[in-house]
Chains A and B, each alone.
Chain A
């Protein structure tokens, strides 16, 4: 059987979650490997959640937030951007390919973009194979 990655997606309530809804309303197909968790802001994504997800066996973590400058909470997405940069370095040191963590800006209108980046991400993780931390 081919490898089906498990991916956790943190989607901010105002942009990425609404963008994912838009993908649904427009009936755009994308792989079901990604299971979303809604958070109010991408800035809520604690670096611990990312480590936790990999520890529990996730093959990838996706974070979707508002475009720079458009954050519903003024600047939460800028903090996410910095944290993701830091986390990528940290993950690399911990033996996880930083490509397994992906941050994307998806606005409420960008259903197409949401479907596209999820598909891209799933394919990328499929190429990378299962996470080395997977039990």
Chain B
């Protein structure tokens, strides 16, 4: 137990010292039992600050230290590693007198509270035991959820480094949103052409286990050792046997809309979402199929020479243990039915950006021709509306980040298809912050003669065979009315609803847009608050392809950092059972969420340290008070309460 505590109060420039009387804090603490030394310094985290701690530990013969400074989330590691040179790191504690004191209180109350906070920390520290870290094994295998460009990139990076990856994709093929795009800004290279080599690389990589048409249904465990259950949905077609000849598709009598083409092109009940799909195989849509039985239809089965069709295929649950998880579940478009001002998107000639994207694609519903859906004719006047649902308090308050760029691309491609057509773009601001993006916008505005109108659209309605768009040009202050053939809405981007479900399984927060909450918005943008879980792509926030790829590689490098070690250090702040006094009631065994509390043959409970996460629920529940949390003991907390009140 600590007998000679040193207290170091940080000024943090004026961040703390501007509000808290740091000299008084040090003075008060000098008088407090157990404190042998107290001082203040401008910046404790600086090199000279750290050296001051080293010097005083030696000079004053200190056996424990308290740093009264910022939140332990910022610098606990820093100071504990300094102390490690002299004694056990658990002889170092921080008192948070910045985030939870000087930044939130006025001068007169802050000093008193700071003194209480430091005194309470002294009481905690006096009860601390010397602890050694617990080491747990790591399963060097990564789960990547989502097979869009972000998931693909992350999987390839980790697999290339020599580790196993399980890539789970809900849809029949990987590729995600990027596979649906025609050309990509600002270079206008063909999306499929740059994506498909990566998709094929995933399929062929010996370190990647691709599980398409599968869903993650359960996740438990912790960093290094997550236990995952994956539901493999039945395709009713043997992936390996299918030769993709297409005979089954020709035979199938059921015609329904293809989701991949935003439901603007038909497909059969047995289908391949798009020609370059990976894995390259047909899938039977269970909902649409006439019966999955030889008696009801079986025309596909009769047509299949490879004998790949099996109506008896069953859903399968695959269990895997992985050391790290990357979530790359992508985005959806905001529901256009919620946009009352744009006629709820019910009119055939008012389409979303992704529908327009499919129209531009050579493999899309129109074979790459731009048409007015209600008549099939070439539209001579097209209005593009940016921020449809974005930057709007009634819908999504944030900027969807990519719409300015793809709308410019859409307008340009329209002009290339229909040189005598007129294109109008309604915008609030143009945000073109990526590399060569501004130049691309300038080119579209100047060379392609697209009419950019700064302002929002108030109303859209049908008049005969035209769509009338009412808006205001805020630069001239005049009302604008355009009778258009086609209206394209640049819909807001939202996180997929499945992201929310996955986040629940992972205990990760999502925001109002269904985007995953990162550990720190600036310094830890790819990490979840819980170790071993990382994010990539639009699941975290709207972003363009280069940013999604960069984030995926960043997430992969985080995983590789974990896999580079043989054992993982784990906090030793675990539960300890006083076996002599344990009555064997089993309350702790039943409530422990990790199964760390186990009943021994003698009936008494024992904590398995490698499994214990240190929450302390058992300690609070034990009816005879026989469970203690290391360094969060009842006695410590009760003494802290005493100081505070």
Contact = CB atoms under 8 A, between A and B. Distances in A.
Contacts of A75: 593
Contacts of A39: 616, 632, 637
Most chain A beta-carbon contacts within 10 A, residue among B573, B615, B616: B615
A128 B120 CA distance: 27
20 contacts: A8-B641, A14-B530, A20-B99, A30-B104, A37-B120, A37-B644, A38-B72, A39-B637, A41-B615, A41-B617, A43-B620, A44-B616, A45-B620, A46-B637, A53-B645, A72-B529, A72-B530, A75-B593, A109-B517, A115-B104
A47 B99 contact: no
Given A79-B591, A79-B621, A109-B517, A40 B634 contact: no
B593 A46 contact: no
Interface stretch (B111-119, B135-143, B388-396, B545-553): B111-119
B346 interface: no
B619 interface: yes
Contacts of B619: 44, 46
B109 A73 contact: no
A56 interface: yes
Interface string B612-629: 011111011100010001
A93 interface: no
Interface residues of A, number: 49
B106 interface: yes
A53 B638 CA distance: 8
A28 interface: yes
Given A18-B73, A41-B616, A76 B641 contact: no
Interface of A: 6, 8, 14, 18, 20-21, 23-25, 27-32, 35-41, 43-49, 52-53, 56-58, 67, 69-76, 79, 83, 107-109, 115
Given A43-B616, A70-B509, A24 B98 contact: yes
A103 to B, nearest CB: 14
Given A70-B509, A73-B617, A40 B629 contact: yes
A76 B616 CA distance: 9
Given A43-B616, A44-B615, A115-B104, 18 more contacts: A14-B529, A27-B103, A28-B104, A32-B113, A35-B116, A37-B641, A43-B617, A44-B632, A46-B620, A52-B641, A58-B645, A69-B504, A72-B529, A74-B593, A83-B620, A108-B517, A109-B509, A109-B511
A25 B70 CA distance: 10
B104 A29 contact: yes
Given A44-B629, A79-B621, A24 B641 contact: no
A108 B645 contact: no
B81 interface: no
Contacts of A74: 507, 593-594
B642 interface: yes
Leading 8 A-B pairs by shortest Cβ distance: A24-B99, A44-B616, A73-B615, A74-B593, A43-B617, A32-B109, A41-B615, A24-B103
B112 A24 contact: no
Interface string B469-492: 000000000000000000000000
A107 B640 CA distance: 24
B71 interface: yes
B587 to A, nearest CB: 11
B99 A21 contact: yes
Contacts of B620: 43-47, 79, 83
Interface in B543-579: 573
A33 to B, nearest CB: 8
A32 B105 contact: yes
A40 B572 CA distance: 13
A24 B634 contact: no
Interface residues of B, number: 49
A41 to B, nearest CB: 4
Most chain A beta-carbon contacts within 10 A, residue among B120, B517, B638: B638
B21 to A, nearest CB: 14
Contacts of B99: 20-21, 23-25
A86 to B, nearest CB: 12
A7 to B, nearest CB: 8
Contacts of B116: 35
A83 to B, nearest CB: 7
Contacts of B637: 37, 39, 46, 49
Contacts of B96: 21, 36
A46 B507 CA distance: 23
Contacts of A31: 105, 109
Contacts of A23: 99-100, 104
A74 B100 CA distance: 27
A46 B634 contact: yes
Contacts of A79: 591, 617, 620-621
A15 to B, nearest CB: 8
Nearest to B503: A70
Nearest to A22: B99
B617 A76 contact: yes
Interface in B64-81: 71-73
A59 to B, nearest CB: 8
B82 to A, nearest CB: 21
B110 interface: yes
Contact of B509 (A32, A40, A108): A108
A35 B617 contact: no
A46 B109 CA distance: 29
Nearest to B634: A46
